[in-house]
Chain A
Amino acid sequence: MKALVIIPAYNESKSIINVVKEIEKNKQNKEYKLDYIIINDGSTDNTKEICEENNFNVINLVSNLGIGGAVQTGYLYALKHHYDIAIQFDGDGQHDAKYIKDLVIPIINGEANMTIGSRYITDLSSYKSTIVRQIGIKFLSMMLTLLTKVKILDVTSGFRAVNKDIIEIFAYDYPSDYPEPESIVTVIKKGYKVAEIPVKMQERLYGKSSITPLKSIYYMIKVTYAMIMRCLIERK
């Protein structure tokens, strides 16, 4: 089994070295072979130079595509190089590479086709985001249950793993902005099994969240709309 960690990075020069170091540290195991690819989404800082200096495995996008386009590039790479499993992992140091194994093993064992690293499923994580954001996530989680009858708590988590079939789906069609909840609906509607795995997340050390308070209302409307549309258009 070959697994690929996809690391989308936009202006992450301060954290990217640490992220790669953590992944390298958690590479050893018998069940699968782990590689990584950094997708530098047209960063305006020296992310590109740092990756090249350290000989990291990196794809530099010619122009900024946004999170969806960057992650999809990773899925295209995974498809091209015949990876069996792809893991999404943020470049800002929020995620803990220790849990990559927890996400991958259920997919290898066939217990799920997609696994989502969740902050809410148990009390592993001290960092749970702000109250307002938690209410937003709760609402989106309820929407998901309403639309698909599947219960997933941390719908906005960007720490996820998928199998080969879903790599192919995402390589062909992946939302351009705020992709996480929408793509979960797609996967479920296509008849795949999604499981939530408890993980620990840290508060990001550098850089801001991509969602400012002003954008949050737009975010909620867009994501809700996209989830309903996905529910209407996706078939097995």
Chain B
Amino acid sequence: MDIKLRIFIILLILICLFSILKVIKLKKLDMRYGMYWSIIFIILLIMIIFPSIIENIAKLCGFKEAPNMLFLIAIFILFYIVFRIYITISRLQEVNRKLVQEISLLKEEKKK
């Protein structure tokens, strides 16, 4: 890969890592999710700095081109993240419903 392109991508990843730090600091992102994203970016960083690692793994798994494997992995990871988000939303819906019911019941009790 072209050295200029690599430096550009590395800078991009560093900006992403810094942004994660910032949103955690502002309490906009839970530490747990911050960790997941940080791990993804750190793995990306390692792959950009040592491209031979992915090339060897791709060869081992029988891919003709390393980028094919990367796209496949990326799609799977994104699918998984979306799936997890749906699970989290479902749980939040459930808790939210319980809260609305509980508060409404409390208000009703207070009236009497």
Contact = CB atoms under 8 A, between A and B. Distances in A.
A contacts with B: majority SS: helix
B contacts with A: majority SS: helix
Interface residues of B, number: 14
A226 B95 contact: no
B35 A233 contact: no
B75 interface: no
Contact of B98 (A62, A225, A226): A62
B32 A176 contact: yes
A176 B35 contact: no
Contacts of A226: 31, 35
B57 interface: no
Contacts, number: 31
A177 interface: yes
Interface string A214-236: 00000001100110010011000
Interface residues of A, number: 14
Contact of A225 (B25, B30, B38, B95): B38
Interface of B: 21, 24-25, 27, 30-32, 34-35, 38, 95, 98-99, 102
Identify the 4 closest CB pairs spanning chains A and B, nearest first.
Answer: A233-B25, A225-B35, A62-B102, A63-B95
Given A62-B99, A175-B31, 4 more contacts: A63-B98, A173-B27, A229-B24, A229-B34
